[in-house]
Amino acid sequence: MKIGFIGLGIMGKPMVRNLLKAGHEVLAYDVIQANVDQAVKDGAKAAESSKDVAAQCKLIITMLPNSPHVKSVVMGENGVLEGAQPGTILVDMSSIAPLASKEIFEACEKKGVKMIDAPVSGGEPKAIDGTMSIMVGGDKAIFDEVYDILMSMGGSAVYCGEIGAGNTTKLANQVIVALNIAAVSEAFMLSTKAGVDPIKVFDAIKGGLAGSTVMNAKVPMITEGNFNPGFKIDLHIKDLTNALDTGHGVGAPLPLTSLVMEMMQTLRADGYGQNDHSALAKYYEKITGTEIRK
């Protein structure tokens, strides 16, 4: 199938590769030409604009940083809606505010374009190996229609409800991940300050109730001092901003999320915004003057 793909960043590039591996033809576009060149090198074809993508493809996937970027790409000048024909399907896999998804959906509906929101979890490693978790909101029939395509990029794709439900689910995911990393950082600073080897602590507790995918992924990074980004603090700040805004809008209290947000903002101010979100450990290292290392 011919698929349009807009947004070729850390996540988008490997997602395109997996679509190509599955036998699809991909027409790719990004505002950064080097990203387009890499996609072409991988086997995709280059488009001139988002409008050009929509004019040539009946199925379009967007993978962009935040709500304003998706609005611009879909609703703006030379955007998807300027080139799309009625019946086109837009799968927005960006992690954005649920209210923004609904606004974009309404604009699409007026043009006869069908849209679902399908944000992902798993970061760059799972985007590379095609095992991302995909959370979907919108028309169930559209979800069913594109399910096999989603599964060429992910390990699971779950229908969560009406438009915006995918992004609400992603926000819940991001709250849990952020709080989990903070808890891991706090606990392993405790063991380090008490003189207990953090690797031994990890080996002892990872199989019990405290064990988690987050701990398994992030403790090795923290103890090695490896904060190369799989998912950047700056992007997690974006997600927590959307979570807090959504929580305020629906009356859901998020006090722990607010606290971890302030920790991340401190790290951004210290110049660590482009680090992996496991660098939350650096917050504890800063205030104790002690590193969590094996």
Q: Judge whether 226 and 294 are in contact, CB under 8 Å.
A: no
Tell me the CA distances in angstroms from 126 to 70, 123, 132, 258, 266, one per residue in order: 23, 6, 5, 28, 28
Query: Under 8 Å CB-to-CB from 97, ≥6 apart: which residues?
Result: 67, 167, 242, 245, 246
Per-residue pLDDT reduced to its tens digit, 100-109:
999 999 999 9
Residue 147 has pLDDT above 90, yes or no: yes
pTM: 0.92
Residue 32 has pLDDT above 90, yes or no: yes
Residue 162 has pLDDT above 90, yes or no: yes
Q: What is the structure's pLDDT at 121? A: 92
Nearest of 124, 118, 120 to residue 105 by alpha carbon: 118
230 falls in which pLDDT band (50, 70, 90)? confident
6-23 burial, b at 16+ Cβ within 10 Å, e below that, comes to bbbebbbbbbbbbbbebe
Q: From the candidates 170, 218, 238, 282, which is the catalytic residue?
A: 170
Q: How far apart are CA 71 and CA 168, in angstroms?
A: 18
The question of whether 170 is a catalytic residue gets the answer yes
